Amino acid sequence: MSFLKLKDFEEKEPVPGYKVRFIHSDNMTFAYWNIDAGASLPEHSHPHEQVANVIEGKFEFNLAGDKRVIEPGDVVTIPSNVKHSGKAVTDCRLIDVFYPVREDYK
Amino acid sequence: MSFLKLKDFEEKEPVPGYKVRFIHSDNMTFAYWNIDAGASLPEHSHPHEQVANVIEGKFEFNLAGDKRVIEPGDVVTIPSNVKHSGKAVTDCRLIDVFYPVREDYK
């Protein structure tokens, strides 16, 4: 159990314009994104369930062909292996949560 | 899979001053809290792992006797069955994530 501070975690940029800090709990991975306006995330999928939360800004989310602009107060649930992609409409902050842990992000 | 809007979910108040909307995904439960300054949450525990994220405001978190004031950028990981309690220092917004799903919150 622990109290953590995001600023103590290394910021990575796995995709241009997608800056992120990861926290892994016993069962879940949390991705804290700071995304530059205009930056695109190519289509991908993974066996992990994902839930996306918009904290600030606007993000165009494409979930298996259903494309919508999401903003604070919006939540996207992405079941295992469903293809998704996206593009930041403005600078934005998102929190993605994955189950199980993203071992590939450790 | 789905695009969800928090405003479409019923706001509940299971503890005075703790207003919340719940979203349940396949494996996790998300609790979006709006908490009134000064409101206290009695000590409790549950078999679910919990990860607390502060979005706005300050919250005094007591994790098994370790008491700290947390604010945006702070994350608390609470393993299964660890006792915790809290009190809102200011009006605040938190997102708690639980694994597995909180069937008791459905």
This complex has an ipTM of 0.96
Asked if the model's pLDDT at residue B1 lies above 90, the reply is no
Residue B50 near residue A28 (C-beta atoms within 8 A): no
Beta carbons within 10 angstroms of residue A94's beta carbon: 23
For residue B30, give the amino acid letter: F
List pLDDT tens digits, range B60-74: 999 999 999 999 999
Residue A1: the pLDDT is: 58
Distance, in Å, from the CA atom of A9 to the CA atom of B66, rounded to the nearest integer, reads: 22
Rounded to 10 degrees, the C-alpha dihedral B6/B19/A29/B47 comes to -130
Q: Which domains does chain A have, with CATH numbers?
A: 28-105 (2.60.120.10)
Taking contacts as CB-CB distances below 8 angstroms, the residues of chain A near B73 are 5-7
A97 touches B at CB < 8 Å = yes
Taking contacts as CB-CB distances below 8 angstroms, the residues of chain B near A20 are none
Asked if the model's pLDDT at residue A19 lies above 90, the reply is yes
Residue A75 near residue A52 (C-beta atoms within 8 A): yes
Distance, in Å, from the CA atom of A29 to the CA atom of A99, rounded to the nearest integer, reads: 7
